[in-house]
Structure 1
Amino acid sequence: MNEIVDGMNEEEFQTVFTEEQFNKILQMIEEKTLSLENAILLLKRIGYCKVLLDWRIYGFNSSLLRGRFEKMIDDEEEKNEEKNESLLIDLCECYLFLNYRFSSELISMCVPCLLKVALKKEENEVSQKEVEMALLALSNIECFFMEQKLYLNEIKEIIQYHQEYHNLTRLAYQTAWRFLVSRLWADNSLEEAIVIELRFAREAIKELEELSKCVDWKRKEEDGRIEVIIIGRWLYDISNFFLLFRSWNEELVGLVCSIVQVLRASRCNYGEICFECIRSISKAAINRCVNVEGFLKCAAVDAVFERIQQPTLGDKIAFHGFRFFMGVSRKLKEKKKEEMEEVKRKEMKRMVFEKLEEEGYEDTIISFFETVEHFKRNYAHFFLKNISDYHWCQTRNLVPNPELANFCVI
């Protein structure tokens, strides 16, 4: 059955694993035509594929099986000497893997249970796989507030121990970071621990570089390799980090440089990786984590512009590419109170203007005129309003519609 699950594509996965299917699994358990042990093995495999590949299934959340598992976790947690730790771990992993909404009470039981597993420091293959499964299940708890006492000391210890002794698999290490970065949505007090204590940017740079060495970017058939999947997961988390962290930090320039390298390597054969790169860079520009000088130093302006000129450009990449230029232009428009800083801003604006003019930025923007209405309909809530500083296009009478000037704000 595991082979069947592994061989499914996303559409097949969503079609098969419905509420009805999970209820049928419960019925088989109750009728003893499927042992609980085998059911757990199957459910963990389903959950592993779902979370690793970021697929969506909603049937478990509304199924009777979910209620049964919640009761079993609660019953097992209340036991003392007779508690079956192995069963409790399996139940908690299934619950976290397959859900998309969580009970606070169950979270308070599952998180400490699985962090205890993840704190194992043995480097043998069996132990590493157990740790990986526990952390991957925990990484599925996104955008959910939980008290720091449930997790902070333990997840910091897991990350710091790996930084010194390298005991985790690459996937386990990435999922440990996803679990922590996800907490920023509800608790921005974690910024110091993530940025200063644990050095998120430094670690992300190192992981992107090491993983990229394992990929032959010229071969499209490697798209399903675990290294490619992990790179995509890192980029997704970096994008969220840029969205939530708004203070300038020198290490973030180095992180953008690493993303640019992956972008250039992936642009021909790896569309999803390319998209995640451009989304990350655009978030950094919109939320001002990196200054314009940093983007020029990393050649991010060149790399994004090169990508939006490619004939295989899709809506998602086009949208985030234009958002990147909006973020840069907004930064360049900000007047500085100090005279020297204002002089520096004007010089930086001139440099960006000349670079894009030389590369044909105006012609590229105009070529997108027919798609502006499409972007407005689908992404209007993201676009800037009342932009006054787009003289570059206005003074040349190149924009037949004022709305298009939203793309020409340099």
Structure 2
Amino acid sequence: MLFHINKKKIEEIIHTLINYTDSSDSFDSNKCFYIKINSDFLHVIANSNSIAAQIKTKVDENKIRLEKKGEILINALMLKDVVSKLEGFITIQEKNNSILIYDVYSRFELSKKQTESFRKVEFDQHDNVFSVESKELKNVIKNASVSPSAANENTTDRRLKYINIKGKKEENKIVLYSTNFSRFSTDSLNVDNVNEFDFLVDAKSLKKLLPQSAPKDVNLFINEDRIGVFYDDIKIFLRVAKEKYLNVDSLFKLSKYTEVLIEKSEFLSLIQKVYFLSSEQKKIYIELNNENQMKLNYEVSEIGKSETISSSLTVNGPKVKVAFNYVYLHDALQTLNEGLVSAKFVLSNDDENKCTRIILKSTENDSNIQIIAALMF
């Protein structure tokens, strides 16, 4: 292999694809870029256990000049560091057991890795393609990812680190669900002609599905074993797990509840006002009465306490006294649309004085739903 590439071009490729390698992986090839070039295209591929990405660039004299086709496997962080030290057109050359990377003034020689160790990836499988807006897709993923973001890294139940994705043909929707048992998040994407499907994907990897450089519209595709996007010269996909997710239907079965209608900004202001920083205590107490009033209390033993009250809301239902985790409540509210928020304080069927959870959603967008379990007093 021997080719020359414009520094700006290779830096753009590295900047995008390095997010899809895993520098902490014990499998060495997951830390690497697989680079292959022929007379038509330069292929650069990053691949880890849950996600893979490829940038396929046309060979031309302005940005890429080919002398000899070939393939190499190179550590991604090492390539990034070396390229940052070079200027102008950069030469990448395979020679005996080494990879030479150089410009007019500087030269680096790296040990060659065996390309056979790189798991080959097929990027041409993309049936069931939908055109979607990048911003909408990013928001849906972000909103549905609130719950697993706080899951314990050491948990043995990997469903708590995964997001459940379902295709609902009758509703023309792709719905995302996640939970960490203390909270639950869901949002959906409206698409036409979607098939029925049900699988899990790694939550952290799903957040990487769309790079920052993605254009306004991208192509979303869903196959039996993957979900991904492609646009311009980039393809990215996640491998899916065919496991049964938790049954969450009971979370939406409400017989007794008190509903509060309140502006999102007001609710956030109240919880931020009453909470003062403490690593020991995250529990906020909320009291509702029939006088359209909400009182919030917060206390840290031997440090202090606070209280705030608001009447800028409406309350419909029995009195409620309940406690929630401040971080969970704050993060859930942040995902909702600006404007009026519906907060349903769900009461136990056995004891209407006991609140079991809160269901939050914007009155302008009922697809993004955040549920938080109540804490014990």
Which TM-score band applies after superposition, normalised by the shorter structure? Answer: under 0.3
Larger-gyration structure (1/2): 2
Superposition TM-score, scaled by structure 1 size: 0.22
Higher relative contact order (CA 8 A, sep 6+): 2
Structure holding more strand per residue: 2
Superposition TM-score, scaled by structure 2 size: 0.23
